[in-house]
Amino acid sequence: MKKTLFFIGLFMALTLGSSYAQKYALIDMEYILKKIPTYESANKQLETLSEQWQSKVDEEVETVNAMYKKYQADLVFLAGNEKTRRENEIVARENDLQELRNQYFGPQGELFKQQEKLIKPIQDNIYEAVKEIATASGYTLVMDRASATSIIFASPSIDISDQVLSRLGY
C-alpha cells in the first residue's frame, strides 16, 4: 500500500512539475499584418490584379453565354452538321474559359504565384521573428490567436504580438 501511494505521489509530482516548466505565448497574426505597411500594399496590389483577371473571365463568360443563347435561338433552323459544329464551338469556348480561370485563379495560377512573391516573404519574416523571441524567452509553444478558434480566453500578458512587431522594426 505504501509503495502504491509512493508511486502515485511520484507520478503526480513529475506530471505537475513538467507542466509548470512549459511556457506558452500567443500572437495575433491579423493584428501584426495590419501594422505592416508592405502587407497592406501587397494586398491592394493582389486585389487589383484579381479584379483585372476576373473582368477578363467575366467577358469570356458573357461571350460563351451569348453563343449559347444564339445557338438556342437558331436550333430549329440548324441542320445536323451545323448543330454539331456549333455545339463543339460552345464546348471548346467553355473549356477555354475553364483554362483561363485555372491560369489566373487555380492552385498554380497567377494569383497564387503573386501571393507567393508578395506575401510569403512578409510571413517568413514574421515567422523568423517569432522563432527568435520564442527561443530567447524559452517558449515551448507559440499559437496564433487569430486562427485558433478554440481559444476562449487567454491572458493578454502572454501575447507577444507587439514584441514581434518591434523585432521586425514596426
User: Tens of pLDDT along 67-87?
Assistant: 999 999 998 888 889 999 999
Band (pLDDT 50/70/90 cuts) for residue 155 is: confident
Q: Would you say residue 57 has pLDDT above 90?
A: yes
Domain interval for residue 37 = 19-168
In a domain, 83, yes or no: yes
C-alpha cell read off for 67: 453563343
Mean pLDDT computed over 90-94: 96
Contact in structure between 168 and 128 (CB atoms under 8 Å)? no
pLDDT higher than threshold 80 for residue 14: no
The answer to whether position 71 is within a domain reads yes
Count how many domains the chain has. Answer: 1
114 in any annotated domain: yes
Query: Which residue reads 523585432 in cell numbers?
Result: 167
d(CA 118, CA 103): 18
- Is 60 exceeded by the pLDDT of residue 125? yes
**CA nearest to 145, candidates 27, 25, 23:** 27
pLDDT, position 114: 95
- Confidence (pLDDT) at 143: 92
**Residue 10 lies inside a defined structural domain of this protein:** no
123 domain-assigned: yes
Average pLDDT value over all residues in the chain:
88
Are 10 and 17 contacting, i.e. CB atoms less than 8 angstroms apart? no
- Residue 80 pLDDT: 87
Q: With respect to residue 97, please indicate whether it lies within any of the assigned structural domains.
A: yes
Answer yes or no: is 1 within a domain: no
Residue 20 has pLDDT above 90, yes or no: no
Residue 14 lies in a domain: no
